Amino acid sequence: MNNKLVMTDFIVFGIYFVLLAAYGYMIYRKKKKQETSATHDFFLAEGSLTWWAIGASLIASNISAEQFIGMSGDGFFVGTAVAAYEWIAAIALIIIAVWFMPVYLKNKIYTMPQFLKTRYNESVALIMAVFWLFLYVFVNLTSILYLGAVAINGLAGGEYLHFIMIALAVMGLIITLGGMKVIGFTDVLQVGVLILGGLATTYLALTKVSESFGLGHDAIAGLKMLFKDSPDHFKMILSKPDSGTVSAALAGDAASQNYINKYLLLPGITMYFAGQWIVNLNYWGCNQYITQRALGADLKTARTGILFAAFLKLMMPIIVMLPGIAAYVLHRNGGLEGFNGVKDTAYSSVLAFLPEGLKGLSVAALTAAIVASLAGKLNSISTIFTLDVYKKYLNKEADENKQVWVGRLTVLVAMILAIAFTWKDLLGIGGEGGFTFIQKYTGFISPGVFAMFILGMFWKRTTGTAAVAGLLTGFLLAIFFNSYAINIFGTETLLYTAFPNGKGAYEIPFQINMGWSFFFTMLVMIVLSLVGKGGEQKAFVLDKAMFKVQPIHTVMIVAILLIITALYAYLW
């Protein structure tokens, strides 16, 4: 098993970089010749992104090192149950396309803080603008950069972490400084490389499984062997641990504790009534980083692009999850020499089997995902700071060219901060694991944010006071359920069941925490809005015609739902 890249791999990777840079420069030159609004062109690429560019950009920005490393690792640990994050996301994208985008586009919403100002008041918008800036810089941007550098460094021999970190940062900056149009269209190339390299990795992993069991060089035979060897890894719904399993875990049984840890991560059918929807609807519908791709388009183009992204989400588990399951099967049957069994190294262990050239293509796919995510996150940081902070509070007279230059300076400062905090991993991302790091900090705020948006869109009575109270309530409840509920109410209540986490304490599954935090936050906001006044004055005007979908969109939606239904029926 060879973990190092050779010259052929570097050549393939170099070709990818040259193509990306050349294509981005071509888009940038073409863009400069067009007569468009400077700010809308830089921040939103207004009217210039096609549906396929929007869809590809959504996926390129979403799939990054935390998916390749984290989700592959969870595939190694749990199996297909982790695919819920991708397949429920596809349904969430349908909801966003049909119901959220008409509200945004009808009311000419370009940023999420602008939505909050228009619907509530400036205080709510400013609070959230500052929060999002801190979250995007110190949680998302840092984790993407750190995880990506660590992953690629492991494949390059383990001696180039800081060099790779700088290289990723520079590539992200080059694309971002060209504006959203350059990001959007280069993301098409990025997604192409991501899918091609990802599928190549999955194919080689499956053929390696096939060879290990004496079945020849046959990927389909390898896939069948995964099902045969580890049927427990092909269950979408984990059953709740019974009292016997809990007692065995407390008595020191490693297998029982291992199963409980899986359930804590993906708590069976209950997560489909709780956190899974909040995570996905908040991420895809209330997140500047994501919605920005579609906010500059007309409704038909935006909807088609978002539904195209939903189709792409259906295949993402093949790329980011199956290699992890293959690594699990190989490892338990002695086919991964030198592998330490740590789940977050599962994907890189599979890459080690790839032949020269293909390993370079897979690294290019991983790099494409990282660079696209960095560029998208940087553009969102730039957009929020420039349009929602600088223009509104620091320099109200700034013209469009000055706003673009402030946006570019913001991009540079954000990346410098990210490098400074990841250089020696000051935030402890490596210790917690990137996927856990992101979920931990975004999960505390997601219930309150999503409650603000969903009530603000579709219930006229919702007030600004209720919005602020909801944000604080969601945050405090998330902390309460995570850290204090068990000590006060015990391990078994009508609301939750807590399980031993193998570290000497009990824990409530975080998706259950999120679900109850959201429920009580909604309750608080509804009560405050009913007793308060003024919500109707700033409510959005809604009409049924806004939500009517065209036949092509109906066909796409039905196809997506049928595929997901078939997948769940087969893997239940």
Structural domain includes residue 510 = no
Stated as kind and residue range, the H or E segment containing 174 is helix 161-176
Parent domain of 243 = 7-443+542-571
Say which residue, 44 or 175, is predicted with more confidence.
175
pLDDT of amino acid 496: 94
- Average pLDDT estimate for 58-78: 81
Q: Which stretches of 305-440 are assigned E, i.e. beta strand? A: none
Band of the pLDDT at 335, cuts 50, 70, 90? Answer: confident
- Supply the pTM of this predicted model: 0.87
State the virtual CA torsion across 436, 439, 444, 448 in degrees, nearest 10.
-170
Q: How many other C-beta atoms lie within 10 A of the C-beta of residue 400?
A: 13
Name the token pair of 189. Answer: 């190339």
Q: Structural domain tally of the chain? A: 1
CB 262 within 8 A of CB 238: yes
With a cut of 90, say whether residue 383 has pLDDT above it: no
Name the token pair of 105. Answer: 């586009």
Least confident of 295-299, 383-387, 437-441: 437-441
Question: pLDDT exceeding 70 applies to what percent of the chain?
Answer: 91
Place of tokens 């824990």: 507
Say which residue, 291 or 333, is predicted with more confidence.
333
Query: Which class for 134: exposed (0-12), middle (13-18), buried (19 or more C-beta within 10 A)?
Result: exposed
CATH number for position 381:
1.20.1730.10
Structural domain includes residue 421 = yes
Structural domain includes residue 489 = no
Say which residue, 344 or 85, is predicted with more confidence.
85
Band of the pLDDT at 35, cuts 50, 70, 90? Answer: very low
Backbone phi, then psi, for 506, in 5-degree steps? -105, 155
Say which residue, 65 or 205, is predicted with more confidence.
205
Question: pLDDT exceeding 90 applies to what percent of the chain?
Answer: 42
Q: Using one digit for the tens of pLDDT, what is the confidence trace for 146-177?
A: 888 887 887 776 778 898 899 899 888 877 77
Band of the pLDDT at 3, cuts 50, 70, 90? Answer: low
Band of the pLDDT at 109, cuts 50, 70, 90? Answer: confident
pLDDT of amino acid 39: 55
pLDDT of amino acid 47: 55
Least confident of 275-279, 298-302, 424-428, 527-531: 424-428
With a cut of 70, say whether residue 42 has pLDDT above it: no
With a cut of 70, say whether residue 277 has pLDDT above it: yes
Q: Using one digit for the tens of pLDDT, what is the confidence trace for 516-531?
A: 999 999 999 999 999 9
With a cut of 60, say whether residue 204 has pLDDT above it: yes
Band of the pLDDT at 413, cuts 50, 70, 90? Answer: very high
Report the C-alpha gap between 9 and 1 in whole angstroms.
Answer: 16
Structural domain includes residue 491 = no
With a cut of 70, say whether residue 427 has pLDDT above it: yes
Q: Using one digit for the tens of pLDDT, what is the confidence trace for 6-18?
A: 788 778 778 877 8
Dihedral sign from CA coordinates of 440, 441, 442, 446: positive
Who contacts 366 (Cβ-Cβ below 8 Å, separation ≥6)? 65, 68, 148, 151, 152, 197
Structural domain includes residue 486 = no
Structural domain includes residue 105 = yes
pLDDT of amino acid 67: 76
pLDDT of amino acid 403: 87
- Average pLDDT estimate for 39-66: 72
The region, left, alpha or beta by phi > 0 then psi within -120 to 50, assigned to residue 341 is left
Mean pLDDT, the chain, rounded, equals 85
Query: Which class for 126: exposed (0-12), middle (13-18), buried (19 or more C-beta within 10 A)?
Result: middle
- Average pLDDT estimate for 60-69: 75
Q: Using one digit for the tens of pLDDT, what is the confidence trace for 453-481?
A: 999 999 999 999 999 999 899 989 999 99
Who contacts 228 (Cβ-Cβ below 8 Å, separation ≥6)? none
Q: Using one digit for the tens of pLDDT, what is the confidence trace for 478-515?
A: 999 988 999 999 999 999 999 999 988 999 998 999 99
- Average pLDDT estimate for 235-252: 93
Stated as kind and residue range, the H or E segment containing 500 is strand 499-500
Structural domain includes residue 72 = yes
Least confident of 142-156, 397-411, 541-555: 142-156
With a cut of 70, say whether residue 270 has pLDDT above it: yes
With a cut of 70, say whether residue 36 has pLDDT above it: no
Task: For residue 507, give the 3-state DSSP assignment.
Answer: strand
Structural domain includes residue 508 = no
- Average pLDDT estimate for 399-423: 90
